[in-house]
Structure 1
Amino acid sequence: MNKSSCTRVSFDFTRTFLPPVYILVFIVGLLANGWGLKSLVQKWKKLGNINVFVLNLGLADVLYLLTLPLLMVYYFMGNKWIFGDVLCKITRFCFNLNLYGSIGFLTCISVYRYLAIVHPMRVMGRISVLHSVGISVLVWLLVSIQSLPDMFFSKTFGNKPGKCYDTTGKFYVEDYLKYSLGWTLTGFCIPFLIALGCYGHVIVVLCRTNTTDKVLKQRCLKLLFILILLYSVCYIPYHVLKNLNLWSRVLSKQRQCRKWFDAVYIAHQISRGLVCLNSALNPLVYLHGEENIPAQLGQLLLRARETFSRLSNSNSVRVAQTADEEIISLH
C-alpha cells in the first residue's frame, strides 16, 4: 500500500507505559544488585572465576540504573529532554553497555560452566581469577567498541527541550538500521549461539553421565533456567522488534505505509520495558553460585516482617495511649 503520506504513529503509549516500569526496575534493581554485590564483596577472598563475571554483571546493572531517574523525568514531561545532547548520549550509552555487557558476561559464565562439566580435567588448575579479570576487561572493551558508533548518531533536537532518541532521528534512520543489524549480529546473535551451543552440549553430558557432582548439576540447571528467562523475556523480543521498528521508520520515510506500523511501535516500546528488566533479573545469577543466598533472603524477609510488626504494635500502643488520655481529659 503506497500513499503520499503515512498515518502518524501515536506516542501516547510510551509516556504511560515506560515510567512505571522504570520506577519498578530502579527500586528493585538497586536493592537486588546492592545486596548481591555486598555479598560478593564480603567474600572477596573466596572470589571464584565465575563470580568475577557476576561482579561485572552487577556493576553493569548499577551503571544503567543510575541513569533511570533522567529517563523518568523525560517521559513524565511528555518526551521532553531537558538535560542536553551530551547527557542524552551518555544515558543511551550506559543502556547499551548494560545490555551487551550483560549478554557478554552471561556468555562467559555459560562457557565456564561448559568447561567445568564437559572438560573438567583439561581446565582444572589452568583457569585462574586473573584469567577471568582479563576476559572481563576484554568484554568491556568489545562492548564499548560496538556501542561507540551509536554516540555519533544525532539523539536530540539541538539544545532545545525535545526528543532523546534511543536510536536516532528521521534523517539518519537508514544508516542506523544497517548499523543496528550488524550490532545485533555481533552483540546478540553470536553470543546467544555460543551460550546455546554450550548448554546444548552440557544437557547431553548431564543426561548421559551420573558422575557429575550433584551441586554442580543444580547450579547448571539454575543458570540454564535464568538464561532462558532472560533471553526469552528481555533480549530476543527487544532485538527483533527494535529492527522491525527501524525498518518501519525507513518505509515510512519512503512513503511506503503499512497497517502494522503502529502495532510494531507499541510492541517495540513493550520490549524496551522488558529489556530494562534484565537489570532487576540479573541478580538471579547470584542464586546459581551461592547456596546460602536463598536462606539469607529468607532471613532478610523475616527481619523486615518483624520490623513491620514492631512498628505496627508501637503505633497501636500510641493510638491506645492517646485515646486513654483523651478520655481522662474529658472526665
Structure 2
Amino acid sequence: MNTTFCNHISFDFTGKFLPPVYILVFIIGLAANGWGLKSLLQNWKKLGDVNVFVLNLGLADVLYLLTLPFLVVYYFMKSTWIFGDVFCKITRFCFNLNLYGSIGFLTCISVYRYLAIVHPMKVMGRLTLTHSVTISITVWFLVSVQSLPDMFYAKTVSNTSKCYDTTSLPYVEDYLKYSLGWTITAFCIPLLILLGCYGHVIVVLCRGESIDKVLKQRCLKLLFILILLFSVCYIPYHVLKNLNLWSRVLSKQKICHQWSNGVYVAHQISRGLVCLNSALNPLVYLHGNEELCAQLRRLLQRTRHILNRPITTTSRSAPITQIIDA
C-alpha cells in the first residue's frame, strides 16, 4: 500500500484514447446500421419474426451513436461538459439503453434460434409477429427500469464541469452497490441464458444429422458473433467498471494501491471497446439476411475491380522528354 499512487492516476489517457474511438465508431456504426436497417425494411416480408429483435437492436445502436459527437466534444475540451446536467444524464442513459438493450435483444435472437433447432415442432407456427413485438416492448421496459436509477445519481460537478459515466465521488459507495446488482440482473443472467442455450444447441448439432445445414450455419455464425461481442465488448467492460468503482471507494477511504492506475486505464480502454458493439452489432444483419450478404459480396467485388483496374492516362503516349519537361 502506498498513498502516493492515488495522485498518479493517468486521467489524461481518457482524452487521448476515447475521442478517436468514438469518431471511428460513429462513422462505421451509422453507415453499417443505416445500410442494415434499410435492407431489413426492404426485405421485411421475406424475413422471419426474429428480425423484430434485429430491428430493435439497430434502433438501440442509432440512438447511442447520435450522442457520440457530444462526447467527442467533451473529451476534446479536456473533460469539460458544456451541454448541461440534464443532457449529460440523457447521454449516459442512451449509452445504457444501447448496451443492455443490445444484450437483451441478442439474448432474444439466441433463444429463438435455440427453439428453432432444439424444439422445432413445439414452436412451429406459435412464435408470431405479435409475440416478437410484445417481447421487444418488455425488453425495452426492463432495460429502462434497470437504467433509470442511474439518472438520479449526480453526473456533473459545477466546479469541474465534468460529466461522469457513473457518478461523482461522494456517492460512489452507493453506486458500486447499484452497479453490482445491475451487472448481475442485466448482464450475468442473460449471459447464463446464452451459455445454456448454446451449450444445448452444440450438443444437438453434434448429435443430429437431420438438421438443416443452412440453419446449422446460421447458428454457428451467430455463436461466433456473440463470442466476439461478449469477449471484446461486454465482459471486460463490466469487470473493469466495477473494479474501477471499488478503486474509487478505496481512494475515498485514503486506501491506495499500485493497481489503481492500471485499473483506471484498463477501464477507459474497456469503455472504448464496449462502444464498438454499435459497430459490430450489424454483423447480426449479415447472419440472418442472405440478400444483404449477397449485396456486400457484390460491393466488395466491385471495389476490388475498381482498385485493380489499370490506370490509363494520355501521358503514356507523350514523348519521354515532354514528361520530364512537365
Same fold flag (TM > 0.5):
yes
How much does 1:7 deviate? Answer: 2.3
Check whether the contact 1:154–1:169 (CA below 8 A) recurs between aligned residues: yes
Match of 1:149, SS state, is: helix
Q: Which whole-Å CA distance do the structure 1 matches of 2:64 and 2:166 have between them?
A: 17
Q: Which whole-Å CA distance do the structure 2 matches of 1:209 and 1:307 have between them?
A: 45
| Unmatched 5+ stretches in structure 1 | none
Q: Which whole-Å CA distance do the structure 2 matches of 1:101 and 1:268 have between them?
A: 21
Structure 1 residues 167 and 52, CA gap change in structure 2 (3 angstroms) = same
Check whether the contact 1:5–1:255 (CA below 8 A) recurs between aligned residues: no
Please state if 1:26 is matched with 2:26.
Answer: yes
May I ask how many residue pairs the two structures share in their alignment? 320
Write out aligned runs for 1:164-203 (5 A): 164-203=163-202
Instruction: Report the counterpart of residue 156 of structure 2 in structure 1.
Output: 156
Instruction: Report the counterpart of residue 237 of structure 1 in structure 2.
Output: 236
Instruction: Report the counterpart of residue 87 of structure 1 in structure 2.
Output: 87
Instruction: Report the counterpart of residue 260 of structure 2 in structure 1.
Output: 261
Check whether the contact 1:52–1:132 (CA below 8 A) recurs between aligned residues: yes
Please state if 1:61 is matched with 2:61.
Answer: yes
Q: Map Cα deviations across residues 173-223 of structure 1 (whole Å, 9 max, x no partner).
A: 000000000000000000000011000000000001101100000000000
Write out aligned runs for 1:83-122 (5 A): 83-122=83-122
Match of 1:292, SS state, is: helix
Match of 2:82, SS state, is: coil
Runs of 4+ aligned structure 1 residues displaced above 6 Å come to 306-310
Please state if 1:129 is matched with 2:168.
Answer: no
Please state if 1:140 is matched with 2:140.
Answer: yes
Structure 1 residues 172 and 276, CA gap change in structure 2 (3 angstroms) = same
Match of 2:7, SS state, is: coil
Check whether the contact 2:57–2:101 (CA below 8 A) recurs between aligned residues: yes
Check whether the contact 1:61–1:98 (CA below 8 A) recurs between aligned residues: yes
Q: Which whole-Å CA distance do the structure 1 matches of 2:162 and 2:288 have between them?
A: 42
Check whether the contact 1:53–1:108 (CA below 8 A) recurs between aligned residues: yes
Check whether the contact 1:2–1:255 (CA below 8 A) recurs between aligned residues: no
Structure 1 residues 197 and 3, CA gap change in structure 2 (3 angstroms) = same
Structure 1 residues 79 and 207, CA gap change in structure 2 (3 angstroms) = same
Q: Map Cα deviations across residues 32-52 of structure 1 (whole Å, 9 max, x no partner).
A: 101100011101223412111
Instruction: Report the counterpart of residue 282 of structure 1 in structure 2.
Output: 281
| Unmatched 5+ stretches in structure 2 | none
Q: Which whole-Å CA distance do the structure 2 matches of 1:111 and 1:213 have between them?
A: 18
Q: Which whole-Å CA distance do the structure 1 matches of 2:245 and 2:5 have between them?
A: 18
Amino acid at match of 2:279: A
Amino acid at match of 1:210: E
Q: Percent identity?
A: 76
Q: Which whole-Å CA distance do the structure 1 matches of 2:260 and 2:67 have between them?
A: 29
Structure 1 residues 210 and 49, CA gap change in structure 2 (3 angstroms) = same
Instruction: Report the counterpart of residue 7 of structure 2 in structure 1.
Output: 7
Amino acid at match of 2:136: S
Structure 1 residues 308 and 72, CA gap change in structure 2 (3 angstroms) = farther
Structure 1 residues 283 and 5, CA gap change in structure 2 (3 angstroms) = closer
Please state if 1:219 is matched with 2:223.
Answer: no
Q: Which whole-Å CA distance do the structure 1 matches of 2:4 and 2:120 have between them?
A: 64
Structure 1 residues 302 and 133, CA gap change in structure 2 (3 angstroms) = same
Q: Which whole-Å CA distance do the structure 1 matches of 2:240 and 2:280 have between them?
A: 21
Q: Map Cα deviations across residues 133-191 of structure 1 (whole Å, 9 max, x no partner).
A: 10000000000000000000111124x77211000000100000000000000000000
Check whether the contact 2:3–2:257 (CA below 8 A) recurs between aligned residues: no
Amino acid at match of 1:60: A
Structure 1 residues 304 and 5, CA gap change in structure 2 (3 angstroms) = closer
Check whether the contact 2:5–2:261 (CA below 8 A) recurs between aligned residues: no
Normalising by structure 2, report the TM-score.
0.92
Check whether the contact 1:241–1:264 (CA below 8 A) recurs between aligned residues: yes
Amino acid at match of 2:258: K
Check whether the contact 1:49–1:132 (CA below 8 A) recurs between aligned residues: yes
How much does 1:299 deviate? Answer: 1.8
Q: Which whole-Å CA distance do the structure 1 matches of 2:296 and 2:163 have between them?
A: 38
Match of 1:185, SS state, is: helix
